[in-house]
């Protein structure tokens, strides 16, 4: 049975629209969990956390998950310095903690995770990351090509190679140069899912400011017809540990 993780990058505080309420209702209708990854950066640490705290945390069912979507940016642009990146990770953890959330799942904004970030993720209690887009053509800040497609523990030297990190990497499902985000609709990513039909795990993304409600409904029905099991990122990490130790 395939395991499917549905994730939402939560950045609506920086946009004119927010579809989180509709996504929650649809997830309850189908009884499938979602991993909500709250945007935090040094440039704007708390706008999205405050939005979700006021409007949605009390509506998101307990069987969902809230994690971090950290953008390594400040008023000077993209942050490359290792220690400054580590500080941004700690800021994100503290911002969510101040709102009674202890995140254990993570995604880097623009999928820009680097190997030196792993120790900082471990230090703040992150168990699972989903930044890899290996198999896609996306190459803004980080090169992911050649990495595994199924969950693995990455190397501290090269994120694209299996290693000894305590953090489990759950790659976003990719094929043919595309990564599986619902921005352009279900029919756009259906060929990606079909090409990856032999994989035991799918990780599919959305953004809370993009209207993908009808497409998510179609996606869930399609995956349920295939008898897929829906889970959260941290639950995948837990199950992976139980099986592999």
pLDDT at 245 (0 to 100): 57
User: Would the CA dihedral through 219, 242, 128, 97 be positive or negative?
Assistant: positive
CATH number for domain 3-244, candidates 3.40.190.100, 3.50.50.60, 1.20.1260.10, 3.20.20.370: 3.20.20.370
Residue with structure tokens 């693995």? 152
> What is the predicted pLDDT for the residue at 192?
97
- pLDDT at position 2 is 93
pTM: 0.95
Angle CA 92–80–129, to nearest 5: 45
pLDDT at 219: 98
**Which 8-state DSSP code applies to residue 46?**
S
Helix (H, G, I), strand (E, B) or coil at 154: strand
65 DSSP assignment = E
> Phi/psi of residue 162, each to 5°?
-60, 145
Q: What is the pLDDT of residue 242?
A: 63
Secondary structure element (H or E) that encloses residue 174, with its range: strand 174-175
pLDDT digits (tens, 9 = 90+) for 101-112: 999 999 999 999
Query: What confidence score (pLDDT) does residue 1 get?
Result: 81
Going residue by residue through the chain, which has 245 residues, state the pLDDT in tens, using 9 for 90 and above: 899 999 999 999 999 999 999 999 999 999 999 999 999 988 888 999 999 999 999 999 999 999 999 999 988 889 999 999 999 999 999 999 999 999 999 999 999 999 999 999 999 999 999 999 999 998 889 999 999 999 999 999 999 999 999 999 999 999 999 999 999 999 999 999 999 999 999 999 999 999 999 999 999 999 999 999 999 999 999 987 766 75
Domain range summary for the chain, segments of one domain joined by +: 3-244
The distance between the two most distant Cα atoms of the chain, rounded to a whole number of Å, is 48
């Amino acid at each position: 049975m395939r395991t499917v993780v549905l994730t939402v990058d939560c950045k609506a505080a920086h946009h004119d629209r927010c579809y989180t309420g509709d996504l929650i209702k649809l997830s309850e209708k189908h009884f499938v969990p979602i991993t909500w990854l709250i945007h935090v950066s040094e440039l704007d640490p708390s706008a999205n956390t405050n939005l979700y705290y006021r409007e949605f945390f009390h509506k998101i069912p307990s069987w969902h998950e809230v994690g971090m979507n950290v953008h390594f940016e400040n008023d000077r642009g993209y942050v490359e310095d290792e220690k400054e990146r580590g500080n941004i990770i700690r800021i994100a953890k503290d911002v969510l903690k101040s709102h009674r959330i202890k995140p254990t799942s993570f995604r880097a904004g623009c999928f820009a995770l680097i190997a030196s970030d792993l120790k900082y993720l471990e230090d703040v209690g992150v168990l699972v990351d989903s930044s890899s887009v290996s198999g896609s053509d996306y190459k803004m800040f980080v090169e992911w090509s050649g990495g595994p497609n199924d969950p693995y523990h990455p190397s501290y030297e090269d994120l694209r190679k299996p290693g000894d990190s305590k953090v489990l990497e759950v790659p976003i499902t990719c094929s043919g140069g595309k990564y599986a985000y619902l921005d352009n609709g279900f029919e756009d990513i259906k060929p990606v899912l079909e090409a990856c039909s032999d994989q035991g795990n799918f990780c599919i993304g959305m953004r809370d400011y993009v209207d993908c409600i009808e497409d998510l409904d179609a996606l869930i029905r399609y995956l349920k017809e295939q008898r897929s099991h829906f889970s959260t990122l941290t639950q995948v990490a837990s199950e992976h540990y139980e099986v592999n130790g």
